[in-house]
């Protein structure tokens, strides 16, 4: 139990190295089956669920923030309209109306300030949720990267089995690099020699036989026609 | 892109240097594509895909091919030179030494082609350079 605990606190690369040391180099199945990997998969599921929650909390908080900032805007507009009404009333020496309007303005401003406080709270909360979401994204990416190490190890080992099986039956030499290199060198040498021969032919003019146009004489033409008769 | 689609697109591709590619899927527990570069004698390249990566592999040599007295020197030489080799790195799978390149699974075809051509050229240099550590 304590061993299992020790294993699960290691990162995936450390786990892979432990298994290489202790078991064998064909380790993928051992790791894939280990409780550590199961815990990893479980953690990934949890991280995904957390992320989903964080996202839905974030969207609802964004809606709240939008709503309260809209309210603040409306109340600010109303207050400034009220101010100009008061200025008008004062200009008409209607002090009673101005006083009533001013009383209503006090209420409006109180409402606006209260809304501002709410908006700021939503802002702060929104920032907090964004950070939480980023942290959830980060831990999910990290868990997936670690799991990818085992999956890649497994994949490559299986691919190697598939490939070597094929070449063991077909052409074992295909996978021997030195033999391949010899083959490559021979092919290159042959090609170089071929080029050399072609170049020499071009230079010496010997290849003209391929494209030589013989110029016959008039006598030849007459002879040919006479023979034809 | 699945392996068949990838094989078809790669078979129709021609690089600026005039290289074309022969592709063959190898059936088995996992999908592997065997690629050979036409117009360039080289090694068979094996391409396989995981969730995050496209991995291109050339099999170099096995433990049995290494001259035992040279083994440590060879391993050190591989470590010392690995970073100098463009786009490719060494690894060992079971008892086989490999040269490989890994790309993001979202890489475009031209990136994969670049990887394949470079890997092939690198492998020829590596086997020439490390040849002395191996049995004839």
| CB-CB neighbors (< 8 A) of A181 in chain B | 124, 127-128, 131
pLDDT surpassing 60 at residue A141: yes
* Residues B5, B9: Cα–Cα separation, whole Å: 6
Other Cβ atoms less than 10 A from the Cβ of A122: the count is: 19
The 3-state secondary structure of chain B reads CCHHHHHHHHHCCCCCCCCEEEEEEECCCCCEEEEEEECCCCCCEEEEECCCEEEEEEEEEEHHHECHHHHHHHHHHHHHHHCCCCCCEEEEECCEEEEEEEEECCCCHHHHHHHHHHHHHHHHHHHHHHHHHECC
Asked if B59 and A175 come within 8 Å (Cβ–Cβ), the reply is yes
**Span between the terminal Cα atoms of chain A, in Å:** 112
C-alpha distances in Å from residue B47, one per residue of A49, A137, B70, B100, B116 = 34, 30, 31, 10, 9
Tell me the per-residue pLDDT of A175-227, one tens digit each, with 9 for 90 and over: 677 777 888 888 878 888 888 888 888 887 665 555 555 667 777 877 777 77
Tell me the per-residue pLDDT of B43-64, one tens digit each, with 9 for 90 and over: 899 999 988 899 999 999 999 9
In chain A, which ranges are continuous DSSP H helix? 2-9, 12-22, 28-33, 35-91, 95-169, 177-204, 218-228
How distant is the Cα of B124 from the closest Cα of chain A, in angstroms? 7
Q: Sketch the domain layout of chain B as residue ranges.
A: 3-133
pLDDT surpassing 80 at residue A174: no
Per DSSP, the three-state class of A217 is coil
Give the pLDDT score at A8: 52
Q: Which of A144, A162, A177 sits opposite B127 (nearest CB)?
A: A177
Tell me the per-residue pLDDT of A14-31, one tens digit each, with 9 for 90 and over: 777 766 666 555 555 666
Closest CA to A180 of B60, B11, B70: B60
Asked if B30 and A162 come within 8 Å (Cβ–Cβ), the reply is yes
pLDDT surpassing 70 at residue A2: no
Highest CATH level, class, for B3-133 = alpha beta
Q: Is the ipTM of this complex over 0.85?
A: no
Mean per-residue pLDDT for B98-123?
Answer: 94
Q: Estimate to the nearest angstrom the gap between the alpha carbon of B2 and the chain centroid.
A: 20
């Amino acid at each position: 139990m304590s061993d299992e605990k020790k294993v699960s606190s290691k990162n995936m690369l450390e786990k892979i190295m432990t298994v290489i040391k202790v078991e064998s180099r064909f380790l993928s199945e051992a790791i894939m089956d280990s409780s550590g990997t199961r815990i990893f998969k479980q953690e990934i599921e949890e991280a995904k669920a957390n992320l989903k929650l964080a996202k839905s909390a974030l969207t609802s908080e964004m809606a709240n923030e939008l709503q309260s900032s809209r309210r603040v805007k409306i109340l600010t507009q109303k207050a400034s309209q009220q101010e100009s009404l008061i200025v008008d009333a004062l200009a008409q020496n209607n002090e009673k109306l101005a006083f009533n309007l001013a009383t209503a303005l006090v209420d409006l401003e109180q409402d606006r300030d209260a809304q501002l406080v709410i908006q700021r709270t939503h802002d702060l909360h929104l920032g907090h949720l964004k950070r939480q979401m980023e942290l959830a994204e980060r831990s999910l990416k990290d868990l997936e990267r670690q799991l990818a190490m085992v999956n890649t190890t497994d994949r490559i080992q299986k691919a190697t089995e598939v490939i070597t099986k094929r070449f063991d039956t077909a052409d074992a030499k295909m996978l021997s690099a030195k033999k391949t290199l010899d083959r490559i060198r021979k092919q290159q040498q042959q090609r170089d020699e071929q080029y050399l021969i072609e170049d020499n032919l071009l230079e010496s003019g010997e290849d003209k036989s391929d494209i030589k146009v013989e110029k016959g004489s008039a006598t030849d033409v007459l002879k040919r026609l006479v023979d034809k008769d | 892109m699945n392996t068949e689609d990838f094989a078809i697109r790669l078979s129709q591709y021609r690089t600026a240097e005039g290289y074309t590619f022969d592709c063959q899927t190898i059936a088995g527990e996992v999908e592997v594509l065997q690629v050979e570069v036409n117009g360039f004698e080289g090694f068979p390249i094996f391409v396989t895909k995981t969730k995050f990566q496209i991995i291109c592999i050339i099999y170099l040599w096995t433990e049995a091919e290494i001259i035992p007295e040279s083994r440590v020197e060879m391993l050190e030489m591989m470590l010392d030179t690995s970073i100098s080799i463009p786009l490719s790195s060494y690894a060992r799978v079971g008892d086989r030494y490999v040269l490989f390149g890994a790309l993001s699974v979202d890489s475009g075809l031209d990136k994969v082609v670049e990887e394949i051509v470079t890997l092939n050229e690198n492998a020829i240099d590596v086997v020439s350079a490390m040849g002395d550590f191996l049995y004839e």
